[in-house]
Amino acid sequence: SYDLTQPPSVSVSPGQTATITCSGHKLEDMFVCWYQQKAGQSPELVVYQDTKRPLGIPERFSGSNSGNTATLTISGTQAMDEADYYCQAWDSSTVIFGGGTTLTVL
Amino acid sequence: QVQLQESGPGLVKPSETLSLTCTVSDGSITTYHWSWVRQPPGKGLEWIAHIFHSGITNYNPSLRSRATISLDTSRSQISLELKSVTAADTAVYYCARRHFGSGFSLDVWGRGTTVTVSS
């Protein structure tokens, strides 16, 4: 089975750049998306097709995917960005989620 | 904006069958494709199943033998049945809409329904 690996936690200071990685074998061959889940809420799509933002998602959220690693970057991180983040890909008609990364804004 | 509303029994006994429904508010059930995703308490997201508006289905290999996803277009509902449940099936269950375009992403989610498996 295909696995996506994320760091369990990332910390960032307000205003700085947060980087969350998602690793998988030849991940660049798949489209990756990212979800934000705040405490007690449903997940929300923040990046799809590696780099695209849904309507209403701030420009500070960006994505990339190269080699074996996809990356979610949050520029100028705000306190409201504190949440769990999940990467997700689709392989052989199966949806795979990463284990999730807790972003703490200190 | 479309809304998804999950509903379920709340509490299910071990070995029984869990039945959930998701109601789509705007009648777009025949236009989009749909998934069920669950999240055990304090844990990450787990994809369960997906159904295309044509009725074609895909399942998480680890749940394929127990799960059935279906559409009821007359009621604008997506259903999920999970047989022979155990405590490990305790989770918040979400339905979600697949975003149009390449790849696979879920752009609209319901609020989720909590299911507890306990005798």
pLDDT in tens, B33-68: 999 999 999 999 999 999 998 899 999 999 999 999
Q: Beta-strand (E) ranges in chain A?
A: 9-12, 18-23, 33-37, 44-47, 61-66, 69-74, 83-91, 94-97, 101-105
Q: What confidence score (pLDDT) does residue B100 get?
A: 82
Q: What confidence score (pLDDT) does residue A46 get?
A: 98
Which sign, positive or negative, has the C-alpha torsion B64, B100, A96, A27? positive
Contacts of B49 in chain A (CB under 8 A): none
Contact at CB, A43 and B60, closer than 8 angstroms: no
Q: Is the pLDDT of residue B104 over 80?
A: yes
Decide if B1 touches A, using CB distance below 8 A.
no
CA distance B20 to chain A (A): 17
- For residue A95, the chain B residue with the least C-alpha distance is B47
Q: What confidence score (pLDDT) does residue B98 get?
A: 95
Let me know: does A88 contact A27? Beta carbons within 8 Å.
no
Alpha helices in chain A (DSSP H): none
Mean pLDDT for B66-87 is: 97
Contacts of B88 (CB under 8 A, 6+ apart): B40, B117
Q: What confidence score (pLDDT) does residue B102 get?
A: 77
The per-residue pLDDT for range B7-38, each reduced to its tens digit, is 999 999 999 999 999 999 998 899 999 999 99
pLDDT < 50 regions, chain A:
none
Contacts of B111 in chain A (CB under 8 A): 42
Give phi and psi for A85, each to the nearest 5.
-125, 135
Q: What confidence score (pLDDT) does residue A9 get?
A: 98
Contacts of B61 in chain A (CB under 8 A): 1, 94
